[in-house]
Amino acid sequence: MRAIALILAAAAALTAQVRYEDIVKGPGVNWLTYMGDYGGQRHSPLTQITPANVANMSPKWTYHVPGANHLEATPLVYDGVMYMTDANQIHAIDARSGRRIWVYRDGAVKRQSPNRGAALLGNKVFFLTSDCHLVALDRRTGALLWSKEYASLEKDGHFATMAPLALKDRVIVGVGGGDGGIRGVVIALSAETGDELWRFWTVPAKGEPGSETWSEFPLEYGGGATWMNGTYDAQTNTVYWAAGNPWPDQFGKPRRGDNLYTCSMLALDGATGKLKWYFQFTPHDTHDWDAQSIPVLVDLPWKGTTRKVLLHANRNGFFYLLDRVTGEFLSGTPFIDKLNWASGIDAKGRPIELPNIEPTPAGRYICPSLRGASNWMSPAFNPQTGLLYVPTLEQCDVYTVSETVPEPKKEIMGGGSEPHNGLPGKFYLRAIDPLTGKRKWEYPMTGGAESWAGAVSTAGGVIFFGDDDGQMVAVDAKSGHHLWHYTMGQNITASPIVFSVDGKQYVSIAAAADVYTFGLFEPAKPTPLVPTRTGN
């Protein structure tokens, strides 16, 4: 016994940890962040599954999350263990088989919001409760290390739906609630203790730069929620975080001005939280076009030199290319066919708005829809094809406004929207060349325009995505041609991941109530029973 204990103790010293350096390297065998890497590319270097053999993909296991009906999380995988979240709960699952290893639930939370996933660092796994507690657990055992409230649901109407973003020694978090009159904030907490290191308010305080863009509107209700996690450039220690829409969403009159920093991309210093630059996509938004789709960080040749750029398929219908070091606007191109609120983007990156675009009590026909041309569902970037794969919705809405300032904290938007003529739109997976903004190909989906599913790219040359009809689909990264699909029988509201265990490549995606995992077909191997006995 003692000898065994010694052996185990020696083994512990050698135990692998989730190292920051490994997260910087990006996905491989493991999938360590919401987007796989810090840059939001969602590109796996694994090559076992290719256009030539993907037809042999078959389901490996299904994991049911009890009580779930709208799973939005991207699972993480480290060393053969998958971490999956839902409202106020996290599950550790054997990634080979789908067997539960442990589950942690916080039953005391009064709100049940969707949850988009976890973060890994060292021996910890982090996730957020719906009422804004950063929870740190021992990833091996599921034992709670600490649970720290970083924002207040009760006092300020803040809630949490995002996956936290773990950097070298800190965890970056944000808040939801922008449709109910909150003030958005990005917060960095110590990964060791949960203590706050810095915070950046997305709506300035009175007298601060940007506050002049709000007329007399009370800034504490301005909105600018930070509900989706951002991306990170380790070289420059810069956090890229999107800020949400101003409030009241559709009622712009009481908040004349650009309403900084809503509907903007923020570049924050990872060390201090200081604003390096901002870029506002939609000044004075009245269509709920927050900027929450993933900012994808890549290095691309732009007019003869390699530039560190940021790709962003915004909810407002334009695809943006920004220099991510300076925030300089490089280009902006529509990535939807129906766009009727702006004629283009000017040289400085400001949309050239057409007249009469604000919602009216009777209703205004505007494209794209309130859900946006894309939304929080993840795009994917493939460095080999150089294409960004964007789940895109072609839909127009009739936007209405209720012209009284709603009461803050009640989650009332100040208006409404519905599809024009009651006709829902249509989803496409569009492959965009980021240098030109042009569409290389598109794959149309069937369904009721209710998808919240994203995509993942692989070096094997296959793009996997959840479609609008409850199916996981594989297409050729170069051509967009269909290669394989599987019907999950439930709506997909999450994005797929790619990982490997024991040398075998897998693809996983959460549908409404279950996590599905696929791999190349292998005939079942008869397993003889292991001799067991009871004794000491």
CB-CB neighbours of 190 under 10 Å = 14
User: Does residue 138 touch other proteins according to CB under 8 A?
Assistant: yes
Q: Which of 56, 58, 112, 141 binds other proteins (CB under 8 A)?
A: 141
Closest approach, Cβ 517 to other proteins, in A, equals: 15
How far apart CA 135 and CA 409 sit, in angstroms, is 25
User: Does residue 533 touch other proteins according to CB under 8 A?
Assistant: yes
Closest approach, Cβ 62 to other proteins, in A, equals: 15
Q: Which of 8, 348, 422, 523 binds other proteins (CB under 8 A)?
A: 8
- What mask, x for binding other proteins by CB under 8 A, covers residues 58 to 97? ----------------------xx------------x-xx
Closest approach, Cβ 108 to other proteins, in A, equals: 4
Query: Could you list the active site residues?
Result: 290
Q: Is 196 exposed, middle or buried (0-12, 13-18, 19+ CB in 10 A)?
A: middle
Which CB atom, from 305 or from 532, has the smaller least distance to other proteins? 532
User: Segment contacting other proteins (CB under 8 A): 10-18, 48-56, 152-160, 240-248?
Assistant: 10-18
Q: Is 410 exposed, middle or buried (0-12, 13-18, 19+ CB in 10 A)?
A: exposed
- What mask, x for binding other proteins by CB under 8 A, covers residues 339 to 358? --------------------
Closest approach, Cβ 211 to other proteins, in A, equals: 36
Q: Which two tokens stand for residue 515?
A: 């996590």
The CA-to-CA distance between both ends of the chain, in Å, stands at 11
Closest approach, Cβ 197 to other proteins, in A, equals: 20
Closest approach, Cβ 486 to other proteins, in A, equals: 23
The one-character DSSP state at 220 is G
User: Does residue 146 touch other proteins according to CB under 8 A?
Assistant: yes
User: Segment contacting other proteins (CB under 8 A): 30-38, 64-72, 134-142, 335-343?
Assistant: 134-142
User: Does residue 102 touch other proteins according to CB under 8 A?
Assistant: yes
| Residues 6 or more apart in contact with residue 78 via CB below 8 angstroms | 18, 30, 32, 120, 139
Which CB atom, from 101 or from 449, has the smaller least distance to other proteins? 101
User: Does residue 503 touch other proteins according to CB under 8 A?
Assistant: no
| Residues 6 or more apart in contact with residue 327 via CB below 8 angstroms | 265, 267, 276, 277, 278, 279
Closest approach, Cβ 12 to other proteins, in A, equals: 4
Handedness of CA 22, 24, 29, 34 (dihedral sign): positive
Which CB atom, from 97 or from 384, has the smaller least distance to other proteins? 97
How far apart CA 423 and CA 114 sit, in angstroms, is 27
Kindly list the distances between the CA atom of residue 142 and the CA atoms of 104, 130, 491, in Å, as whole numbers in the listed order: 6, 19, 29
User: Does residue 101 touch other proteins according to CB under 8 A?
Assistant: yes
Q: Where are the alpha helices (DSSP H) in 15-107?
A: 20-25
User: Does residue 523 touch other proteins according to CB under 8 A?
Assistant: no
Contact, 487 vs 516, CB < 8 A?
Answer: no
Closest approach, Cβ 153 to other proteins, in A, equals: 13
Q: Which of 145, 325, 435, 449 binds other proteins (CB under 8 A)?
A: 145
User: Does residue 99 touch other proteins according to CB under 8 A?
Assistant: yes
Host H or E run for residue 155: helix 153-156
Which CB atom, from 421 or from 536, has the smaller least distance to other proteins? 536
How far apart CA 185 and CA 172 sit, in angstroms, is 11
Which CB atom, from 143 or from 352, has the smaller least distance to other proteins? 143
User: Does residue 9 touch other proteins according to CB under 8 A?
Assistant: yes
Q: Which two tokens stand for residue 45?
A: 């270097």
Which CB atom, from 31 or from 289, has the smaller least distance to other proteins? 31
Contact, 115 vs 85, CB < 8 A?
Answer: yes
User: Does residue 362 touch other proteins according to CB under 8 A?
Assistant: no
How far apart CA 317 and CA 425 sit, in angstroms, is 14
Number of residues that bind other proteins (CB under 8 A): 41
CB-CB neighbours of 492 under 10 Å = 29
User: Does residue 106 touch other proteins according to CB under 8 A?
Assistant: yes
| SS3 at position 154 | helix
Q: Which two tokens stand for residue 417?
A: 């929207």
Which residues lie near other proteins (CB under 8 A)? Answer: 1, 4-5, 8-9, 11-12, 15, 80-81, 94, 96-97, 99-102, 106-108, 123, 138, 140-147, 525, 527-536
